């Protein structure tokens, strides 16, 4: 391709009559390389180096002291996490619990909302703007506001549930409710994303299946379960993928609202790793936890991607 | 009720919509309301709904805290990382889209999966040794970790929409690769650039974890400022919500104006790939 | 003529004597003129009190101060991170040896200040090291080396509503049993200024944050963190009783959600008038006597931490101090700052202006020095500082992690769980952590 263009240019006497230098040949022949080089270089430095460092350090024991050097201990960190560290196992369980709960809630609510918003009505744009708000609001600020609302003695949430006769709860101070309470905050924040993605998916749905279903006398419920949902499946899976990745790594709201408490009842893996690495300064052990967390996220993503591909 | 078009809108729809809107907006509404109350009113139970609003909290926030500095820091870092991400990411995403290097696209998604702390620890150690903590450059670089993959991921979708024939035509007319990119493709994806830029700006603005560790005394950003309100004084709910309002207001307003673009950006990224 | 000469000689002699004695007392404060010092401070009443005076230091010495202030958790994390990196540019920082002294000393992060203190060219002779309270001075020495001067001292103390106790005719507790009885008696009684009921007892319950105040009760029960040969003692019978009691008080007579309460929440509840008793660091008293925020000004009594069942004194005594990192390139200049900030003049100023609980005996003896501090607070401070134990956190290297582990047991107790099992688990965890971090 580049040769033809060059030939064409020479024939047409175009491009300033300069002889085609080796450099411009190089540029023409390697567009991908040059165009992507800046970002790839930056990504490499910014992201790949830390990954190697993390994996490297996960095989060492180092307490970040400038006096003692890291000590190579092979897979001991991993062994310790999986076999001996109860706090780690607690963290894995809580991470999965939180993610499953939050994504399930968001999925159901988000899709339902999308179906509702898919009807024609005036002010669609306005409603969409409103729905964007929870997603773009600063998570730290939101977390603090929710903390205020969840306060057991002074918070407005207890007041509101009190109006329907439900007793005051301790919410994020209660080991039984802390994960669900946090999942509610995450749901409030991110359901709109699912809604938006689903809406976009709904917009691409073909009409024909519905028309033929109507002719066949299908009820709306049947049309939903047999046509809409299956057709939406790839879109929903993608939404699920994004949200799962983010939920598994949720940090801001949990750290700000409970710091992993009460006790360790909301200490997900990310929060635990933060404590271990940037509070206790067990750098080696923290790195091994990070490797495990990353493996978890990767595993879930691969499963979801496979599920999605499976529908094609 | 059919899922396909229906001529008139039912009042039920509106009712339902409003019913949904209320819980969605309530926390933001409560945040704003609390920022106008005095400490006494904020710690009253049952909660106070009608009261005389005061701007004292906002006054306190600005007097007791260098909020202008925080805002400026947040802006510099967000603008810097967004600008840099666009500069680096636009050519990259163009090439990936045009030459169908889907492998790189997947690699970017993988990058998104890694927990932020994994980047943080090595970067912190490096920056400290290079004495770069508490500099804008350090913050902008770390925010790039989020911004660049975002730009790449979303813009690939937009660039894929650019008809290949237009590019071919330009090339045949003698355009270099770079020219084709600059003069033909870029103008066509302007809405995408706007969406991505705004999204990237918002995510940088909201970033807490990276700024917590990398920012120093002079470069503290707004989320850190808000977090600091849980400080040695008692829980100052009025001040806290005033600060929270100040922080979220810009992004809320931003999102209102360009919601169409954001939606397209967010959803495109989801549908493609 | 002879007289005149005599006067002259006398005058000269006096003059010389005066000059040399002035020289002996004074050091050259300007000897590091032009240096810049980076100082990290915790957001704390002391910091708030000293900040308006920093200009005086700059004028006196010609040294420029760059001061950074962070809220406590962030401050701890920040200093730790800086010291760990080995490339810090800090020259001085607030430090609490009772919390991190051992870890930092063993890691070689402190620059011991003994030499500076003894050096007559660096330390004025009227600095008077012995003027500092005994326990405060002792606490600033870790593994035989001096970290720096103490800036304030605090106890884990009993703070209570005088008016509420009077109204319901309850005796101010001096023992733990009386404490529980009082909390029980006053729980649910009307005590806010609009007659609302309040809680009998409020205190920290948030995991790690609770351990330092719980320590007072631990000692009162005659328990301790470690045995003499550094084995965990947190599951001893006495310790379990202490954990059980702390949790029980909060569970039965405290606000719901105590397990998430740091002192910010606890002080808020107390200063809104919603609790009869607050156990915490008495250096926090400016918060509850702040006219802008507190509804209970003038109604608060301050007492020593209650004694245990065997008359064993409880409570802790802990100073905050200033330290110099070994990596500082301006150590001697930093020492001038440390010295100035804790000179009698400055201690007097912060104590009289802001009610900071300074650690100089002479200032306490001065009636003006006690002006801002409620009388019973001054008394209980003096008393508590003699009977309190300076170890308000376990003396281990991995303090943060061990605090979390013990704090978890406290949280379990608040929730009514099996305290003995939780304490055993905490002890096992402590042993493991200590082996990892101190084993060699």
Q: Give the tens place of pLDDT for each residue, A10-43.
A: 544 444 445 567 776 776 667 667 777 777 788 7
Give the mean pLDDT of C380-406: 85
- The whole-angstrom separation of Cα C113 and Cα C117 is 6
Q: A93-113 pLDDT, tens per residue?
A: 999 999 999 999 999 999 888
Share of chain B above pLDDT 90, in %: 11
Q: What ranges make up the beta strands (E) of C100-149?
A: 141-142, 145-146
Q: Confirm whether pTM is higher than 0.95.
A: no
Token pair of A270 as six digits: 């990310």
Under 8 Å between Cβ of A250 and A268: yes
Neighbouring residues of C222: CB distance < 8 A, sequence distance ≥ 6: C238, C308, C310, C312
Residue C373 pLDDT greater than 80, yes or no: yes
- The whole-angstrom separation of Cα A228 and Cα A201 is 10
Q: Which of residues 123 through 182 in chain B touch A, CB cutoff 8 A?
A: 123-125, 141-142, 144-145, 148-149, 152, 171-172, 174, 176-178, 181
Residue B1 pLDDT greater than 50, yes or no: no
The count of structural domains within chain A is 2
Residue C316 pLDDT greater than 80, yes or no: yes
Pick from B124, B131, B232: CB nearest C72: B232
**Predicted confidence band of residue B3 (pLDDT cuts 50, 70, 90):** very low
- Give just the sign of the alpha carbon dihedral A17, A19, A25, A26: negative
- The whole-angstrom separation of Cα C217 and Cα C180 is 12
Q: How far is B189 from chain A (nearest CA, A)?
A: 17
**How big is the A-B interface in CB pairs under 8 Å?**
287
- The whole-angstrom separation of Cα B68 and Cα B225 is 11
Q: Do A110 and A16 have their domain in common?
A: no
Using the structure block, give the residue that is written with the tokens 């918070």: A155
Which chain B residues are Cβ-neighbours of C82 within 8 angstroms?
128
In whole numbers, what is the pLDDT of chain C averaged over residues?
86
What are C302's strand-pairing partners?
Answer: C159
Question: Is residue B124 less than 8 Å (CB to CB) from chain C?
Answer: yes
Q: Do A152 and A24 have their domain in common?
A: no
Q: Is C400 exposed, middle or buried (0-12, 13-18, 19+ CB in 10 A)?
A: buried
Hey, what CATH topology would domain B65-271 get? Answer: MetI-like fold (1.10.3720)
Binary contact (C264, B233; C-beta < 8 A): yes
Residue C18 pLDDT greater than 80, yes or no: no
ipTM: 0.82
Give the mean pLDDT of B48-64: 84
Q: Which helix (H) or strand (E) holds C38?
A: strand C36-42
Neighbouring residues of A12: CB distance < 8 A, sequence distance ≥ 6: B174
Neighbouring residues of A176: CB distance < 8 A, sequence distance ≥ 6: none
Chains contacting C (3 or more CB pairs within 8 Å): A, B
Share of chain C above pLDDT 70, in %: 94
Q: Do A27 and A126 have their domain in common?
A: no
- The whole-angstrom separation of Cα B17 and Cα B96 is 41
**Predicted confidence band of residue B2 (pLDDT cuts 50, 70, 90):** very low
Pick from C77, C81, C260: CB nearest A172: C260
**How big is the CA angle at C299 (ends C298 and C305), to the nearest 5 degrees?**
110
Binary contact (C87, B234; C-beta < 8 A): no
- The whole-angstrom separation of Cα C76 and Cα C96 is 10
Binary contact (B234, C267; C-beta < 8 A): yes
Pairing of strands C64-70, C36-42: parallel
Q: Do A26 and A170 have their domain in common?
A: no
Determine which of A14-28, B40-54, C334-348, C362-376 has the lowest per-residue pLDDT on average.
A14-28
- The whole-angstrom separation of Cα C435 and Cα C440 is 8
Q: How far is C235 from chain B (nearest CA, A)?
A: 32
**What ranges do the domains of chain B cover?**
65-271
- The whole-angstrom separation of Cα B158 and Cα B186 is 10
Please report the pLDDT score of residue C161 as a whole number: 93
**Predicted confidence band of residue C25 (pLDDT cuts 50, 70, 90):** low
**Predicted confidence band of residue B47 (pLDDT cuts 50, 70, 90):** confident
Binary contact (B94, A5; C-beta < 8 A): no
Please report the pLDDT score of residue C428 as a whole number: 92
Our CA dihedral for C222, C225, C231, C237, rounded to 10 degrees, sits at 40
Q: Do A8 and A120 have their domain in common?
A: no
- Give just the sign of the alpha carbon dihedral B64, B68, B74, B77: negative
- Torsion angles phi and psi, residue C303, rounded to 5: -140, 165
Q: Do A45 and A106 have their domain in common?
A: no
Please report the pLDDT score of residue B4 as a whole number: 46
Question: Is residue B234 less than 8 Å (CB to CB) from chain C?
Answer: yes
- The whole-angstrom separation of Cα A230 and Cα A276 is 44
Domains and CATH numbers, chain C: 30-153+318-387 (3.40.190.10), 155-317+392-438 (3.40.190.10)
Question: Is residue B256 less than 8 Å (CB to CB) from chain A?
Answer: yes
- The whole-angstrom separation of Cα C278 and Cα C253 is 12
Q: Do A156 and A35 have their domain in common?
A: no
Under 8 Å between Cβ of A134 and A110: no
How many Cβ atoms from other residues are within 10 Å of residue C251's Cβ?
Answer: 17
Residue C139 pLDDT greater than 60, yes or no: yes
Residue B5 pLDDT greater than 50, yes or no: no
Question: Is residue B9 less than 8 Å (CB to CB) from chain C?
Answer: no
Residue C24 pLDDT greater than 50, yes or no: no
Question: Is residue B226 less than 8 Å (CB to CB) from chain A?
Answer: yes
- The whole-angstrom separation of Cα A254 and Cα A272 is 11
- Distances in Å between the Cα of B253 and the Cα atoms of B35, B79, B257, B265, C346 are 18, 17, 7, 18, 49
**Predicted confidence band of residue B273 (pLDDT cuts 50, 70, 90):** very low
- Distances in Å between the Cα of C336 and the Cα atoms of A33, C37, C119 are 59, 11, 12
Please report the pLDDT score of residue C163 as a whole number: 92
Give the mean pLDDT of C307-313: 88
Residue C4 pLDDT greater than 70, yes or no: no
Please report the pLDDT score of residue C89 as a whole number: 82
**How big is the B-C interface in CB pairs under 8 Å?**
53
Determine the residue of chain A that is closest to B224 in CA distance. A140
Q: Do A44 and A108 have their domain in common?
A: no
Using the structure block, give the residue that is written with the tokens 């931490």: C305
Give the mean pLDDT of C388-406: 85
Token pair of C244 as six digits: 């059980």
Neighbouring residues of C28: CB distance < 8 A, sequence distance ≥ 6: C121
Which chain A residues are Cβ-neighbours of B18 within 8 angstroms?
none
Top pLDDT among A228 and B30 is at B30
Please report the pLDDT score of residue C439 as a whole number: 62
Nearest to C96 by CA among C41, C55, C50: C41
- Distances in Å between the Cα of C58 and the Cα atoms of B3, C32, C336 are 75, 11, 11
Token pair of A23 as six digits: 């450099």
Using the structure block, give the residue that is written with the tokens 């419920």: A221
Pick from C68, C86, C293: CB nearest B234: C293
Determine which of A118-127, B244-253, C186-195 has the lowest per-residue pLDDT on average.
A118-127
How many Cβ atoms from other residues are within 10 Å of residue C236's Cβ?
Answer: 18
Pick from B119, B252, B260: CB nearest A47: B119
- The whole-angstrom separation of Cα A140 and Cα A157 is 19
Please report the pLDDT score of residue B235 as a whole number: 65
Token pair of C216 as six digits: 């007072």
Q: Do A20 and A134 have their domain in common?
A: no
Q: B126-143 pLDDT, tens per residue?
A: 887 777 777 898 899 889
Within a domain: A60: no
Chains contacting B (3 or more CB pairs within 8 Å): A, C
Give the best-scoring range by mean pLDDT among A62-76, B51-65, C232-246, C395-409: C232-246
- The whole-angstrom separation of Cα C92 and Cα C335 is 8
**How big is the CA angle at C274 (ends C272 and C278), to the nearest 5 degrees?**
95
Binary contact (A173, C259; C-beta < 8 A): yes
Binary contact (B178, A27; C-beta < 8 A): yes
Q: Which of residues 44 through 73 in chain B touch A, CB cutoff 8 A?
A: 44-47
Top pLDDT among A63 and C185 is at C185
- The whole-angstrom separation of Cα A286 and Cα C331 is 34
| Structural domain that includes position A24 | 2-50
Q: B169-188 pLDDT, tens per residue?
A: 887 887 777 777 888 888 88
- The whole-angstrom separation of Cα B218 and Cα B66 is 10
- The whole-angstrom separation of Cα A77 and Cα A54 is 13
Give the mean pLDDT of A226-252: 85
Token pair of C14 as six digits: 């006096």
Please report the pLDDT score of residue A46 as a whole number: 80
Determine which of A248-252, B259-263, C343-347, C398-402 has the lowest per-residue pLDDT on average.
B259-263
**Predicted confidence band of residue B230 (pLDDT cuts 50, 70, 90):** low
Residue C204 pLDDT greater than 80, yes or no: yes
- The whole-angstrom separation of Cα A231 and Cα A115 is 13
Nearest to A204 by CA among A227, A225, A232: A232
Please report the pLDDT score of residue A14 as a whole number: 47
Buried b (16+ CB within 10 A) or exposed e, B59-89: ebbeeebebeebbebbbebbbbbbebbbebb
Within a domain: A57: no
Determine which of B46-50, C166-170, C196-200 has the lowest per-residue pLDDT on average.
B46-50
Q: How far is C331 from chain A (nearest CA, A)?
A: 19
Within a domain: A227: yes
- The whole-angstrom separation of Cα C182 and Cα C201 is 9
Neighbouring residues of B186: CB distance < 8 A, sequence distance ≥ 6: B90, B193
Binary contact (B231, C265; C-beta < 8 A): no
Under 8 Å between Cβ of B266 and B199: yes
- Give just the sign of the alpha carbon dihedral B25, B31, B36, B40: positive
Give the mean pLDDT of C12-17: 52
């Amino acid at each position: 391709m580049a040769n033809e263009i060059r030939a064409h240019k020479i024939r047409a006497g175009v491009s300033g009559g300069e002889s085609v230098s080796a450099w411009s040949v190089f540029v023409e022949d390697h567009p991908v390389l040059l165009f992507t080089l800046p970002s790839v270089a930056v990504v490499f430095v910014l992201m790949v180096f830390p990954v190697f460092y993390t994996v490297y350090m996960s095989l060492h024991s180092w307490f970040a002291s400038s006096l003692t050097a890291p000590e190579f201990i092979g897979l001991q960190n991993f062994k310790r996490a999986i076999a001996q560290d109860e706090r780690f196992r607690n963290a894995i369980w809580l991470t999965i619990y939180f993610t499953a709960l939050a994504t399930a809630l968001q999925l159901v609510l988000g899709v339902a909302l999308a179906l509702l918003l898919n009807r024609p009505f005036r002010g669609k744009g306005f409603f969409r703007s409103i729905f964007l708000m929870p997603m773009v609001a600063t998570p730290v600020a939101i977390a603090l506001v929710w903390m205020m609302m969840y306060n057991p003695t002074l918070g407005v949430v207890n007041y509101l549930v009190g109006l329907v006769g439900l007793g005051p709860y301790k919410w994020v101070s209660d080991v039984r409710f802390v994960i669900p309470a946090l999942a509610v905050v995450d749901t409030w924040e991110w359901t709109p994303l699912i809604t938006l993605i689903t809406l976009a998916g709904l917009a691409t749905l073909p009409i024909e299946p519905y028309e033929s279903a109507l002719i066949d006398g299908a009820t709306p419920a049947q049309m939903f379960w047999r046509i809409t949902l299956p057709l939406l499946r790839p879109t929903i899976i993608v939404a699920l993928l994004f949200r799962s990745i983010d939920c598994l790594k949720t940090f801001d709201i949990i750290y700000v609202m409970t710091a992993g408490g009460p006790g360790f009842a909301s200490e997900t893996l990310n929060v635990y790793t933060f404590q271990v690495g940037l509070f206790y300064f067990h750098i080696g052990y923290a790195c091994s936890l990070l490797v495990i967390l990353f493996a978890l996220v990767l595993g879930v993503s691969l499963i979801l991607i496979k599920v999605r591909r499976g529908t094609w | 009720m059919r899922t396909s078009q229906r001529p008139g809108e039912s009042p039920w729809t509106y009712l339902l919509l409003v019913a949904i809107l209320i819980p969605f907006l309530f926390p933001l509404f409560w945040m704003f309301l609390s920022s106008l109350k005095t400490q006494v009113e904020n710690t009253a139970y049952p909660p106070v709904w009608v009261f005389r609003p005061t701007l004292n909290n906002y006054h306190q926030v600005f007097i007791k805290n260098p909020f202008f500095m925080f805002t400026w820091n947040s802006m510099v870092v967000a603008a810097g990382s967004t600008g840099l991400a666009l500069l680096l990411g636009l050519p990259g995403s163009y090439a990936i889209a045009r030459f169908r290097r889907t492998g790189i696209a997947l690699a970017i998604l993988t990058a998104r999966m890694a927990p932020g702390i994994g980047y943080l620890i090595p970067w912190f150690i490096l920056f400290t040794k290079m004495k770069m903590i508490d500099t804008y450059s350090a913050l902008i670089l770390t925010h790039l970790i989020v911004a660049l993959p975002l730009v790449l991921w979303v813009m690939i979708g937009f660039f894929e929409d650019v008809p290949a024939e237009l590019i071919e035509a330009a090339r045949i007319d003698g355009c270099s690769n770079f020219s084709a990119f600059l003069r033909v493709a870029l103008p066509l994806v302007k809405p995408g650039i706007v969406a991505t830029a705004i999204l990237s700006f918002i995510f940088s603005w909201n970033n807490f974890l990276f700024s917590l560790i990398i920012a120093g005394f002079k470069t503290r950003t707004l989320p850190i400022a808000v977090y600091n309100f849980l400080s040695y004084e008692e829980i100052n709910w009025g001040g806290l919500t005033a600060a929270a309002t100040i922080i979220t207001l810009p992004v809320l307003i931003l999102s209102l104006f360009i919601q169409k673009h954001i939606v397209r950006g967010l959803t495109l990224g989801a549908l493609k790939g | 003529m002879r007289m005149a000469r005599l006067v002259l000689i006398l005058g000269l002699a006096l003059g010389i004597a005066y000059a040399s004695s002035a020289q002996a007392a004074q050091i050259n404060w300007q000897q590091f003129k032009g240096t810049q010092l980076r100082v990290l401070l915790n957001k704390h009443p002391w910091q708030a009190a000293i900040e308006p005076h920093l200009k005086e230091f700059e004028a006196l010495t010609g040294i420029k101060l760059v001061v950074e202030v962070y809220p406590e958790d962030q401050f701890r994390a920040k200093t730790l991170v800086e010291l760990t990196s080995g490339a810090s540019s800090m020259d001085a920082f607030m430090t609490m040896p009772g919390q991190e002294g051992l870890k930092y000393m063993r890691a070689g992060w402190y620059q011991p200040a003994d030499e500076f203190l003894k050096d007559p060219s660096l330390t004025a002779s009227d600095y008077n090291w012995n003027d500092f309270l005994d326990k405060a001075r002792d606490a600033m020495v870790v593994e035989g080396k001096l970290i720096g001067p103490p800036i304030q001292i605090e106890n884990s103390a009993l703070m209570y509503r005088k008016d509420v106790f009077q109204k319901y005719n309850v005796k101010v507790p001096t023992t733990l049993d009386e404490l529980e009885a009082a909390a029980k008696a006053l729980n649910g009684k009307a005590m806010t200024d609009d007659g609302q009921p309040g809680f009998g007892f409020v205190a920290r319950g948030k995991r790690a944050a609770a351990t330092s105040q719980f320590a007072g009760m631990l000692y009162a029960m005659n328990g301790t963190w470690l045995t003499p040969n550094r084995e965990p003692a947190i599951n001893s019978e006495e310790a379990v009783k202490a954990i059980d009691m702390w949790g029980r008080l909060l569970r039965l007579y405290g606000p719901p959600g105590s397990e998430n309460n740091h002192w910010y929440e606890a002080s808020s509840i107390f200063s809104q008038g919603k609790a009869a008793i607050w156990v915490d660091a008495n250096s926090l008293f400016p918060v509850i006597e702040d006219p802008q925020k507190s509804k209970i000004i003038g109604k608060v009594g301050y007492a020593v931490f209650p004694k245990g069942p065997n008359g064993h004194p409880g409570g802790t005594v802990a100073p905050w101090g200033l330290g110099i990192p070994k990596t500082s390139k301006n150590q001697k200049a930093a020492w001038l700052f440390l010295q100035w900030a804790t000179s009698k003049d400055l201690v007097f100023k912060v104590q009289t202006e802001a009610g900071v609980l300074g650690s100089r005996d002479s200032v306490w003896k001065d009636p003006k020095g006690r002006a801002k501090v409620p009388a019973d607070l001054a008394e209980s401070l003096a008393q508590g500082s003699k009977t309190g134990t300076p170890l308000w956190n376990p003396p281990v290297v991995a303090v943060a992690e061990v605090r979390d582990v013990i704090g978890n047991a406290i949280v379990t107790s608040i929730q009514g769980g099996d305290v003995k099992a939780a304490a055993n688990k905490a002890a096992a965890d402590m042993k493991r952590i200590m082996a990892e971090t101190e084993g060699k």
